[in-house]
Structure 1
Amino acid sequence: MAYYFDELIVSEIKKKNEVALRELYKAHYPMVVNLIRSNNGTEQEAKDIYQEAVIAFYEKVQEEDFVLTCKIKTYLYAVCRRLWLKRLAEKKRFHGNIEETETFLGIEEEMVTIEENEKKFARMRESLSGLGEPCRGILEDFYINDLSMEAISEKFGYTNADNAKNQKYKCLQRLKKLFFATYKEDLP
């Protein structure tokens, strides 16, 4: 359910829907207030930090190649945490570790996972661009553009949807080979 909410929010923010932005703001604000107040901050400072984080998220979502690779909550928490650490350092009020709330233990691990996923997505994009036509077009139309096999069959001139489906399977196998060939090259 949370994932669906996140996808819906991202979709609506891409359309510059202010209602979605307000919902996003309300949904995670208490988390940030808790983080900032339990780490030498005021509610006003929490508002400022959260505002910056939401703006950063909004701008990121507007980028054409943006892909949500974690929960919005995780993203906002990480950004707010970094901004708050920076602000504390500037004010010389930072004396060691920032206190984590129980709910958000493991944020560093999740950020590592996010970075690894971003590398995999980049590799997948690279593999997909190296695939060539018609395979790239078939896979993009099916997995990204949500076209039916019947529509793909018509678009690419196959005699029926089953032939198009067989071709999609072969293209997917070629994509996997390309992906794992580059994946093995990146291993230490």
Structure 2
Amino acid sequence: MSNKLSSSVPTDREVVLGILNNSEEALNKLYLGYYPMVLQFILNNSGDEDDAKDVYQESIIVLYNKIKSGNFELSSKLKTYIYSVSRRIWLKKLSQMGKKTGNLADFEDVVAVEVDLEVHEEKDRQFEKMQSALVHLGEPCKTIIQDFYINNLSMQDISEKFGYTNTDNAKTQKYKCLQRLKKLFFQV
């Protein structure tokens, strides 16, 4: 048996293993496999195609983070999990827009996903706080932090880029920048 995924909807196990192994093919199959179901749900419940794309994208991120965190247990079908996450996200958006959510045209299977969504939303908030803190950090700190933690530059590269006499001076500067970033992060 080849280890290429079949052209139909992949099995739940294939998707989970694919995501754990950073397989782009598994993610693509996931997008193709379950998007029509979410699109149908959103269209039947006061939404349009753009809403469906946004909700589906967010649901896949929730699933992806859940699998990567290592505590994903397939207690339900992936289809049900994705549907449940999408449904909760859409219900929340509808209520934020002040629309009634009384009689939803619904799919029978739904699982509880509140905790997963809370974790996802908390990560989003933390990311936004970090972005804001970085903006307020100013130069050269912002670039040093980004070069080291995001662009994976070595202290040697950073030292040369900023004209420090040696890597120890660059490390000291990075340490000071991190202290300032922490202060800003907890103020935001």
- State the TM-score, normalizing by the size of structure 2: 0.53
Which whole-Å CA distance do the structure 2 matches of 1:3 and 1:27 have between them? 5
**What does the per-residue CA deviation read over 1:71-120, in whole Å, with 9 as the maximum and x for residues that have no partner?**
110000000001000000000112413211xxx22x24xx27x9xxxxxx
RMSD of equivalent CA atoms: 2.3
The structure with the greater share of residues assigned to helix is: 1
2:76 corresponding residue in structure 1: 70
| Alpha carbons of structure 1 residues 3 and 66: separation in structure 2 relative to 1, 3 Å | farther
Partner residue of 2:56 out of 46, 50, 66: 50
**What does the per-residue CA deviation read over 1:128-160, in whole Å, with 9 as the maximum and x for residues that have no partner?**
xxxxxxxxxxxxxxxxxxxxxxxxxxxxxxxxx
Which whole-Å CA distance do the structure 1 matches of 2:69 and 2:81 have between them? 16
- Partner of 1:68, secondary structure, is coil
1:23 corresponding residue in structure 2: 29
How many matched pairs? 107
User: What displacement does 1:70 show?
Assistant: 1.1
1:10 corresponds to 2:6: no
Q: Percent identity, aligned pairs only?
A: 39
1:37 corresponds to 2:43: yes
Which runs of structure 2 are paired with 1:96-135 in the superposition (5 Å)? 96-100=102-106, 104-105=107-108, 107-108=109-110, 111=111
Is the 1:85–1:98 contact (alpha carbons within 8 Å) kept by the matching residues of 2? no
The one-letter code sitting in structure 1 at the alignment partner of 2:13 is E
Which whole-Å CA distance do the structure 2 matches of 1:70 and 1:97 have between them? 24
Q: 4+ residue stretches of structure 1 with deviation over 6 A?
A: 1-4
Unmatched runs of 5 consecutive residues or more in structure 2: 1-5, 114-188
Partner residue of 1:88 out of 70, 84, 94: 94
